[in-house]
Amino acid sequence: MNETTPVSDGYSNSADAWRRGPARIYDRLAIALVERIEPVRGKTALDVGAGTGAASAALMLAGARVVAVDVAPGMLEYERSKRPPCVVADAVALPFRDGAFEIVVAAFSLNHLTQPALGLREAARVTRRGGIVVASAYAADDDHPAKQAAHSVAAELGWRPATWWRRLREDAMPKLATVERAVRETLAAGISATVEPRQVRFPELDAPSLIEWRLGMADLAPFVASLEPAARVELLSRAVEQMGSDYPMLVRRMIVITAAV
């Protein structure tokens, strides 16, 4: 078993839950990333860590010819017939020649690497000169009470975080979670990039939608899927109740890396 196997299994078991909850957030975040790239129409694009296809869809809508890569086959299989061609591969060893793409987007995937510089370098390698790499990661201050509510009610019902998820949060995600740290990784990758904090607001999401977001994430989704329907309903309603009515609007805070290659 290599380092990515638990991540691959964790996400592969979460594809349906991801589309029910997190996707409504990640689809918008992907659009915000792709809007930074101009022009897109007619370009070749790679979606690294494509998941269920948020950035692929945004790129295709903007007119790119897309290929998707993810380490989790279950994520790539989701609605396969509506998706672009795909390859199961690790972001640090992409199965493409140098300069194969004009655009590379890595939406919330390189922050799963303990050495994100390796993923950034690999993304730049497969990008043609004159092309662009755009990568996003969760900012250190990206938080919402929905997360705490979902986790604490799930824990009361028997959920325990998987080791791979704890390692991800401790050893990988912090590496790109601030502008300073992300700049350090771009320097280690040997690429020249702009690194900025960005925010996307979700005023339309009500309490059940916010809890569904958290229940569909790969840390909780397999546990939620293991529950009987009545227990799932109980988890959702208790978490909504715990969050209360005075919760803030969800504002996703991310770090965006943009590199002209």
Residue number with CB closer to ligand SAM (72 or 240): 72
At its nearest, how many Å lie between ligand SAM and the CB of residue 166?
15
Strand partners, 105: 47, 134
3-state class (DSSP) for residue 148: helix
For 139, phi then psi, to 5°, come to -75, 155
Task: Determine the Cα–Cα distance for residues 84 and 77; give it in Å rounded to an integer.
Answer: 11
Give CA–CA dist 259/149, Å, rounded. Answer: 37
Please pick, from the candidates 49, 116, 131, 216, the single residue that binds ligand SAM as defined by CB under 6 A.
49
Judged by CB under 6 A, the residue of 40, 55, 173, 211 near ligand SAM is 55
| Segments in the chain forming alpha helices (H) | 5-12, 15-20, 23-34, 54-61, 73-77, 116-125, 145-156, 163-167, 179-189, 207-215, 221-226, 229-243
Nearer to ligand SAM (CB atom), residue 77 or residue 234: 77
Stretch that binds ligand SAM, among 48-56, 78-86, 149-157, 196-204 (CB under 6 A): 48-56
Between the two ends of the chain, the Cα-to-Cα distance in Å is 34
Angle subtended at Cα 236 by Cα 20 and Cα 23, rounded to the nearest 5 degrees: 20
Quote the least distance from Cβ 139 to ligand SAM, whole Å.
14
Q: How far apart are CA 150 and CA 125, in angstroms?
A: 40
Binding of ligand SAM by 108 (CB under 6 A): yes
Here the tokens at position 184 are 């350090």
Site for ligand SAM in 59-78 (CB under 6 A): 70-72, 75
In the window 3-22, what residues touch ligand SAM (CB under 6 A)? Answer: 4, 7, 11
104 touches ligand SAM (CB under 6 A):
no
Among 107, 137, 220, 224, binds ligand SAM (CB under 6 A): 107
Tell which positions 168-227 bind ligand SAM, by CB under 6 A.
none
Residue 30 in contact with ligand SAM, rule: CB under 6 A: yes
Closest residue to bound ligand SAM by CB = 51
Q: How far is the CB of 113 from ligand SAM (least distance, A)?
A: 6
* 188, HSE (Cβ side, Cα atoms, 13 Å): 14
Give min distance, CB of 55 to ligand SAM, in A. 5
Nearer CB in complex with ligand SAM: 87/179? 87
Which residue, 108 or 223, is less far from ligand SAM as judged by CB? 108
Maximum distance among all alpha carbons in the chain? 55
Residues that bind ligand SAM (CB under 6 A): 4, 7, 11, 26, 30, 49-51, 54-55, 70-72, 75, 90-91, 107-109, 112-113
